[in-house]
């Protein structure tokens, strides 16, 4: 009887809700497969990025779960630190960039180069999270970033490194994106010194605080981790959980970076250094 009453209450609440609320509790901005196809179309039209950096040991910055509504204090701090760091050449944002409809319009000015406070206009790369899909914000994301599934390379005087962005905004890669990832690793990985993969939804953390996309399914996690190990991926970056986790599984380093939203009790971002190995540290905001 208790279960029947609970289900009835849920049904009544959903029936009474408008479409914006439905969009909040479950991302409605196209399916994973549809977004992946749109990302590939954008990639075909615009190509893939190749960054040239003048040193073999370079740094990049990582931030996640910004959840921008209006305030942009923490992300402005990260971007300014990156662009004033003489050995850092780009940044990566691993999803949940915004927290409400229209959030991208508040976030993006904070990412614009400011010559008064920043020395260089370093590139920022991004992928999306579940919050970036609520209220059909995939359209806003596309208008600024174009793609969520892509790769780019970094060329140094002696080496080159491969970075791969994955769309897990719905808590899954989907069949087409998984096949694409497998093809990229099989065809390209051996050409690069390091391979870094980044996405939003974490693989291992088992908890339900991030409903409805708490973590990947067990079967998909197995498939992805097997691919990462087989192709000697060095670092797999994630967000979503809001709490840091660092673990090594089958010779691959998996890192969940802390949330950096402005009202977090302990916001951090991460700085990684690519040299003979990949080192990292976390910076409090």
The pLDDT assigned to 135 comes to 85
Neighbouring C-beta atoms of residue 166, cutoff 10 Å: 26
Give the mean model confidence (pLDDT) for residues 231-235: 98
Question: Cα(219)–Cα(232) distance, rounded to whole angstroms?
Answer: 20
Q: Where are the alpha helices (DSSP H) in the chain?
A: 2-16, 19-25, 32-46, 73-83, 103-111, 138-145, 174-188, 218-230
DSSP code at position 219: H
Give the mean model confidence (pLDDT) for residues 49-74: 96
Give the mean model confidence (pLDDT) for residues 196-220: 76
Question: Cα(246)–Cα(279) distance, rounded to whole angstroms?
Answer: 12
Question: Cα(165)–Cα(200) distance, rounded to whole angstroms?
Answer: 9
Compute the Cα dihedral for 215, 202, 244, 139 and give only its sign: negative
The pLDDT assigned to 277 comes to 97
Question: Cα(245)–Cα(13) distance, rounded to whole angstroms?
Answer: 36
Q: Which of 173, 170, 93, 174 is nearest to 134 (CA)?
A: 170
| Tokens 């009202």 sit on residue | 263
Provide CB contacts within 8 A for 219, sequence distance 6+.
Answer: none
Q: Which of 274, 277, 282, 285 is nearest to 257 (CA)?
A: 282
Q: Are 196 and 229 in contact (CB under 8 A)?
A: no
Give the mean model confidence (pLDDT) for residues 14-29: 38
Q: What percent of the chain has pLDDT over 90?
A: 79
The pLDDT assigned to 276 comes to 95
């Amino acid at each position: 009887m208790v279960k029947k009453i609970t289900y009835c209450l849920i049904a009544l609440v959903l029936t009474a809700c408008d479409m914006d609320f439905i969009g909040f509790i479950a991302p409605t901005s196209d399916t994973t497969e549809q977004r992946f196809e749109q990302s590939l179309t954008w990639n075909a039209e615009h190509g893939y990025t190749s960054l040239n950096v003048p040193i073999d040991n370079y740094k990049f910055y990582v931030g996640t779960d910004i959840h921008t509504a209006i305030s942009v204090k923490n992300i402005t701090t990260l971007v300014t630190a990156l662009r004033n760091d003489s050995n850092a050449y780009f940044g990566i944002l691993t999803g949940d960039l915004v927290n409400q409809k229209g959030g991208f319009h508040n976030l993006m000015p904070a990412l614009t180069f400011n010559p008064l406070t920043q020395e260089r206009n370093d590139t920022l790369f991004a992928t999306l999270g579940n919050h970036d899909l609520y209220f059909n914000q995939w359209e806003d994301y596309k208008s600024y970033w174009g793609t969520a599934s892509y790769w780019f390379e970094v060329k140094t005087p002696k080496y080159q490194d491969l970075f791969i962005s994955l769309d897990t905004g719905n808590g899954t890669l989907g069949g087409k994106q998984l096949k694409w990832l497998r093809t990229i690793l099989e065809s390209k990985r051996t050409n690069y010194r390091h391979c870094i993969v980044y996405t939003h939804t974490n693989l291992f953390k088992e908890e339900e605080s991030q409903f409805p996309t708490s973590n990947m399914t067990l079967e998909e996690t197995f498939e992805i981790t097997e691919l990462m190990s087989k192709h000697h991926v060095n670092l797999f970056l994630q967000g979503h959980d809001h709490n840091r986790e660092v673990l090594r599984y089958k010779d691959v380093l998996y890192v969940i970076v802390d949330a950096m939203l402005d009202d977090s009790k302990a916001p951090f971002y991460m700085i990684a250094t690519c040299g003979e190995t990949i080192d990292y540290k976390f910076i409090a905001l």
